[in-house]
Amino acid sequence: MPAPMSGHSKWSTIKRKKGATDAARGKVFTKIAREIMVAAKEGGGDPDGNPRLRTALNAARSANMPKDNQERAIKKGLGELEGVSFEEVLYEGRGPEGTAFVLEVLTDNRKRTVPELRHIFGKNGGEMGSTGSATWMFDHKGVVMVAKEKIDENALMELCLEAGAEDVQDEDEVWVVTCETSSFSDVESALAQLEPESAEIQWVTRPENTFPLEGGGAEAVARLWAKLDDQDDVQKVYCNAELPDEIMEAHGL
């Protein structure tokens, strides 16, 4: 079995944000709306035939995002309402202690986004990197998280094998199913009946590149992580550091 995943996703930790301030909730809504728009633009407005849109709408429901907001974002993505056009970009960088960061970004203006990200890295002990400087430490995988109460391991394994999944891991209260990105649509569809906690394509740290940290080093990485996560154009942040839960939670991660 691979080591537990190291990474961070706005969708998979959305439940922690439910009690957040209105300002924080507004940021979450903005990020989800952008994802809905891009998903609809790419794959159409029917979630049944668009796994990426289905995933984004599940995140919206988990975050208690109003239905009107969801529908408006879909219409903007389809061009039925006037809206800004967003571009998907991947950025990479290094953080304190030599940690690696991968950022999935949706921006309408790279000339604004890049200096802001460079500033955040520089002020928090890191630096922006070139293409490939961090992603080599990660694998791009489909990841589906299913609550254990929904299904037992044997039944889940049977479903997953038929759909083309690679692995099922036991992590606390959830099963974590991983697959190649080419199989994600089939795996996500096969498990949709179980109402997964999250289902998305992620950058998963390779076991040999996982970086456990504690103390001051962990705090420094968490500060940078939180600043990047808070930047408006950043949709998802992945880092190869494994930090203590209490430090992650203290920084809202």
Q: Is the Cβ–Cβ distance between 231 and 116 less than 8 Å?
A: yes
Q: Indicate the average pLDDT of the chain.
A: 85
Domain 138-206 in this protein, CATH class: alpha beta
Find tokens 């001051």 and name the residue: 216
CATH 3.90.700.10 matches 1-137+207-253: no
**DSSP letter, residue 108:** S
Distance, C-alpha 133 to centroid of its chain: 20
Using a cut of 0.85, tell me whether the model's pTM lies above it. no
**DSSP bridge partners of 106:** 88
How far apart are alpha carbons 17 and 147 in whole angstroms?
A: 19
Cα–Cα distance, 191 to 196 (Å, whole number) = 7
pLDDT at 161 over 70: yes
126-135 pLDDT, tens digit per residue, is 999 999 999 9
Which residue blocks in 44-152 are alpha helix, DSSP H?
Answer: 51-62, 67-78, 110-123
> Residue 251's pLDDT is what?
86
Residue 252: phi and psi, rounded to 5, are 75, 25
Bridge pairing between strands 100-107 and 234-239: antiparallel
The domain spans of the chain are 1-137+207-253, 138-206
- Cβ count near 40 (within 10 Å): 25
